[in-house]
Structure 1
């Protein structure tokens, strides 16, 4: 009651306080009185101008103590729930504290997206629906972060979903320039990690830009774009062409890199900003430089297993899967 202004409270003529832990609170509400409230559930005082009386309010259940009343209310609610055989409202959707792979992959909407060749990323905090990446509509995908405690779990979840997609539709190429895996994981149709293999896949990708006759989409995951550029010896001209023309020949590039690198110009004529209009990042919005955001000095740090998805200047906060071994 200390936060309620005196003048405001003084305009309320009728007041009903129940038992208070602090008697001073009771005095603030009622004023000085000889009456005292017994320690019995439902007992209180009723004040009407200067008239103060002891009252007993109706209780939702019987009980000699507050704990007994609570227990009896819970028991009655359970009995009513068990006896009810009519229609029930749908439960209020909520994002769970932790999203396990089993929980996420068993959702009907996630299964439907995978079967349609799209990539579910996690659950939208606000809508509690999957955030889904569709290259046909969104172009190539940037994946960014800096602090490993946020970035590594995002990559782990993303790569797992890419493998799940590969098990259903095939045509997933894992260009592991970041040496994230020791061996090819299940679900990928091509795995490249050594310097020689990176040169080979770079040449294959450039050939696909001219000769891809497959009607299906290829997902190409580059686990570290900075190392890929260095080890594959791709020219800036070819990199620009790959980023620009890949979607037109059904090559969906998922480009993983640090916030600092992805925000740079590759050379005077090429930048990731120019071609990557869709992205996810495991950092505060203001800590990445690829997408324009309004600066917010008070933007909080991300919670565990959280990231942002952006497409066409819209930003959505989502929660992704927590894998075994994530810290």
Structure 2
């Protein structure tokens, strides 16, 4: 085919969630509330870790960076999605659509790798406590976080190179609330078989392999916990990693539902709802899970509130 005679896409129309006019403002308010809870909850985690000296440990260092990723992912998706709820359709340039997708890939990849690093941190703390301070010092923590970002950047550069070889000629309508991989590929008039295969291989490397690493780490952790004779001791040790295990289960569970589980026969609305889980719901739930299941975070919140009250009364 002579691509010079093909009309290329310059604008993309995102349909988002097509809700009845009668409940438009209610749905908009729900999404707005979710966005506010996500931002406030994750900012609270970041503030607590920065403010409280008792939280200056590798586990909470990684948790604060997880909160940063959750804020970035939600901010990349939700504001635009709320706009589609109000106006029923959002128009964006094709380059902006690709940028949204690539940024989403960057954050999701970095989050998968960071969750893997967090599981390794818990493995060292529980299974190799004598070597923990030596292997997981401040410098190593920063190197691991930066490495997560570098690998995420490598992934989006690879995606960019693959997608740049395709031609996109329409239609220019995406029945989704953000620019995801499959909806973008449906706009291409080139053969996307090789690109899809490459993306599947990269997905295995950056998603399946990290999940397998987490699974192995927690197998050793659980085996170590079961060797503890005291029930109270078991509960105390398990409480240090239960929040992370819950977050991993929710995050990877939703990714599997969206990308790995068979989707034949699923409606587009169901696909949107499943995508909503890992792009919006999971970032909102992460700080709630950690706050509810972590005594040190609760203690840090009470200390901050007490300090603020003391400052207030001293001023009076």
Same fold (TM over 0.5): no
Larger Rg: 1
What TM-score comes out, normalization by structure 2 length? Answer: 0.24
The TM-score normalised by the length of structure 1 is 0.23
Higher relative contact order (CA 8 A, sep 6+): 2
Question: Relative to total residues, which structure has the larger strand share, 1 or 2?
Answer: 1
